[in-house]
């Protein structure tokens, strides 16, 4: 395997000037709702609004000037696109982002606000469309997750967690293709092997649950979920290899529980996060993740790119 904590440490040095060391806080008021000692790693407070900047920035910074000459192109359900747009703007290169139809307006607006060009297409075609644009324009493709440089960048969030809460009992990570989960699990398990690491994924498309059971990456039918940043229907192959080695468990979470989690985090936790970022808390509410009152459980809150209007969807959720 061409992946290691050393790659993550190198990424940390490389991206340090551009990313925020985000707060990891104790959220005591959530304890009684979740039945454990609650900690939150606040990647929603990251530049460009999500952990995605870590991987995108690392992937861009290892490209040569020649590779960057024609700009970069990527495909993304939103947050990676905004991260690439942010990175491209800092590096002074043009950026094209392929976004699936149905991505939240706020995410598309935020990408455009950074000067990037947006191309929309059906979700399942987004990699093909991005590949075609790369071939036609000579732009460098920056993949959203199944890439060692991207995974190493995301893993830097894990390095911070091992500094901020070295005695965590459980770490819960929102999971789509597995870029964040793979990077973070490697960083944490290699430093603090006793931390139990859990990936939380939408129940309608539990690609890691199915793949870990099958022992190989499994592709599921594309499905829709309120967790609009967790739309991959299969694990990345590289990600899967790392996840299989370091992750203890993948748990499915219903959309209803994600909504409840978002409302709980907002009104009782006082933290504003997008639905996908709340899926770990949803796993506890849903009962698919079991925790104990004495356990220190850290929820990685992955992003905060959410419009106020979107909160209409959770007004009536039960807390």
Q: Which is nearer to a second copy, 98 or 111 (CB)?
A: 111
Q: With contact defined as beta carbons under 8 Å apart, do 276 and 80 qualify? A: no
Contact between 127 and a second copy by CB under 8 A: the answer reads: no
Q: Is the CA virtual torsion 299, 225, 181, 75 positive or negative?
A: negative
- Window contacting a second copy (CB under 8 A); options: 22-30, 90-98, 182-190, 212-220: 22-30
Contact between 181 and a second copy by CB under 8 A: the answer reads: no
- Window contacting a second copy (CB under 8 A); options: 27-35, 77-85, 178-186, 212-220: 27-35
Cβ count within 10 A of residue 293: 10
CB of 304 to a second copy, least distance (A): 4
Contact between 311 and a second copy by CB under 8 A: the answer reads: yes
Contact between 79 and a second copy by CB under 8 A: the answer reads: no
Contact between 137 and a second copy by CB under 8 A: the answer reads: no
Q: Is the CA virtual torsion 300, 302, 307, 310 positive or negative?
A: negative
CA distances from 190 to 6, 51, 135, 248 (A): 10, 20, 38, 14
Q: Which is nearer to a second copy, 38 or 230 (CB)?
A: 38
Helix (H, G, I), strand (E, B) or coil at 118: strand
CB of 277 to a second copy, least distance (A): 10
- Window contacting a second copy (CB under 8 A); options: 37-45, 94-102, 238-246, 250-258: 37-45
Contact between 292 and a second copy by CB under 8 A: the answer reads: no
CB of 298 to a second copy, least distance (A): 14
Contact between 47 and a second copy by CB under 8 A: the answer reads: yes
- Window contacting a second copy (CB under 8 A); options: 210-218, 221-229, 235-243, 308-316: 308-316
Angstrom distance (rounded) from CA 200 to CA 143: 22
The two tokens of residue 300 are 């990685």
Contact between 115 and a second copy by CB under 8 A: the answer reads: no
Contact between 163 and a second copy by CB under 8 A: the answer reads: no
Please list every residue from 252 through 281 that binds a second copy, using CB under 8 A.
263, 266-267, 269-273
Task: Output b/e per residue, 156-195; b: 16+ Cβ within 10 A.
Answer: bbbbbbbebbeebbbbbbbbbbbbbbbbbbbbbbbbbeeb
* Non-local CB neighbours of 156 within 8 Å, separated by 6+ positions: 8, 11, 12, 15, 19, 54, 58, 183, 187
Tallying the residues shown for the chain, one arrives at 319
Cβ count within 10 A of residue 221: 7
Q: With contact defined as beta carbons under 8 Å apart, do 15 and 21 qualify? A: no
CB of 30 to a second copy, least distance (A): 9
> Which residue ranges make up the site for a second copy (CB under 8 A)?
20, 23, 25-29, 42, 44-45, 47, 263, 266-267, 269-273, 304, 306-309, 311, 314-315
């Amino acid at each position: 395997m061409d992946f290691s904590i050393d790659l993550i440490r190198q990424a940390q040095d490389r991206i340090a000037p551009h990313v925020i060391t985000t707060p990891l806080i104790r959220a005591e008021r959530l304890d009684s709702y979740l039945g454990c000692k609650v900690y939150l790693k606040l990647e929603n407070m990251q530049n460009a609004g999500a952990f995605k900047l870590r991987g995108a920035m690392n992937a861009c910074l290892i490209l040569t000037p020649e590779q960057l000459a024609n700009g970069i192109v990527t495909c993304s359900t939103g947050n990676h696109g905004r991260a690439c747009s942010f990175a491209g703007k800092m590096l002074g290169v043009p950026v094209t982002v392929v976004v699936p139809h149905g991505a939240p307006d706020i995410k598309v607006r935020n990408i455009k606000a950074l000067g990037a060009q947006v191309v929309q297409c059906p979700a399942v075609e987004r990699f093909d469309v991005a590949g075609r644009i790369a071939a036609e324009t000579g732009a460098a493709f920056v993949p959203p997750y199944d890439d060692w440089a991207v995974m190493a960048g995301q893993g830097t969030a894990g390095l911070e967690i091992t500094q901020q809460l070295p005695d965590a009992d459980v770490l819960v990570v929102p999971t789509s293709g597995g870029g964040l989960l793979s990077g973070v699990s490697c960083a944490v398990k290699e430093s603090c092997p006793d931390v139990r690491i859990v990936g939380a994924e939408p129940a309608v498309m539990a690609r890691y649950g199915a793949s870990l059971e099958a022992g190989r990456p499994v592709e599921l039918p594309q499905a829709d979920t309120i967790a609009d940043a967790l739309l991959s229907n299969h694990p990345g192959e590289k990600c899967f290899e790392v996840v299989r080695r370091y992750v203890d468990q993948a748990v499915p979470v219903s959309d209803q529980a994600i909504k409840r989690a978002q409302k709980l985090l907002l009104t009782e936790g006082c933290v504003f996060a997008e639905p996908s970022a709340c899926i770990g808390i949803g796993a506890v509410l849903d009962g698919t993740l079991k925790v104990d009152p004495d356990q220190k459980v850290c929820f990685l809150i992955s992003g905060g790119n959410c419009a106020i209007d979107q909160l209409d969807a959770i007004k009536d959720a039960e807390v």
